Amino acid sequence: GQNIDQPTEMTATEGAIVQINCTYQTSGFNGLFWYQQHAGEAPTFLSYNVLDGLEEKGRFSSFLSRSKGYSYLLLKELQMKDSASYLCAVKGNNRLAFGKGNQVVVIP
Amino acid sequence: DTEVTQTPKHLVMGMTNKKSLKCEQHMGHRAMYWYKQKAKKPPELMFVYSYEKLSINESVPSRFSPECPNSSLLNLHLHALQPEDSALYLCASSQGTGDIYGYTFGSGTRLTVV
């Protein structure tokens, strides 16, 4: 089975940097995804890590440590449109299982 | 076309009604999925179709009945639902079920059972 843990909510100022953490326990691991979801909308893909280390994509970076069962998503130069829920999801056993998600609220 | 399209966007149904949710993709993806998402909760996997065959059923009650008529279409037939089944139902697709493939999600059907 899979157990994925994320903190629930954080508030940050426009232009700031925010780090969202995700820990997981899984019997099969074949990659970790980060998705952004605005209220009432579909999750949209942000990043994918399967090997240890940092993946950078513009303002968003994601890090993975497989030995620690740990990942984080770094959001830089926060913009108001970044207010959303951020979900980590672990791929394994032909399933994508989501963590609870972390709500980020960006304030001016 | 890089989208997964779901219809209807909103649905209100009574507990004795029969209705269907539809999902369509034209990306040539061979795996399709149904997820259920309650408010402030993560999406939970319901069904996985691979090459038009049901490969995973996550112990979903029989009042939910999936169907995959062809590789582009996925339906979810609903019958005798309960108010607690009210949720956002998300469809997703991927190139295959192998673990290297990411998912593309539709915008969902918001279902209310009254």
Residue to mutate among B40, B58, B99, with most A CBs inside 10 A, is B99
A28: nearest CA in chain B?
A: B99
Q: Which tens digits make up the pLDDT trace of B79-113?
A: 999 999 999 999 999 988 776 678 899 999 999 99
- List all residues of chain B from 39 to 68 with a beta carbon under 8 Å from chain A: 40-45, 48, 50, 55-56
Where is average pLDDT lowest: A3-7, A14-18, A98-102?
A: A3-7
Count chain A–chain B contacts defined by CB atoms under 8 A. Answer: 55
Instruction: Provide φ and ψ at B98, rounded to 5°.
Output: -55, 150
Closest residue on chain A to B105 (Cα): A42
* Average pLDDT for B53-77: 96
pLDDT in tens, A61-95: 999 999 999 999 999 999 999 999 999 999 887 78
Report how far residue B91's alpha carbon sits from residue B2's, in angstroms, rounded to the nearest whole number: 14
pLDDT band at A52 (very low <50, low <70, confident <90, very high): very high
Stretch A47-62: mean pLDDT: 94
Over 80: is that where the pLDDT of B55 sits?
A: yes
C-alpha distance from residue B1 to each of A2, A106, B5, B25, B26 (Å): 33, 32, 10, 8, 6
Nearest CB among B56, B103, B107 relative to A41 is that of B107
Q: Among B42, B97, B99, whose Cβ lies nearest the Cβ of A100? A: B42
> By CA distance, what is B111's nearest residue in A?
A40
Do residue A45 and residue B102 have CB atoms under 8 angstroms apart? yes
Among A96, A47, A94, which residue's Cα sits nearest to residue A72? A47
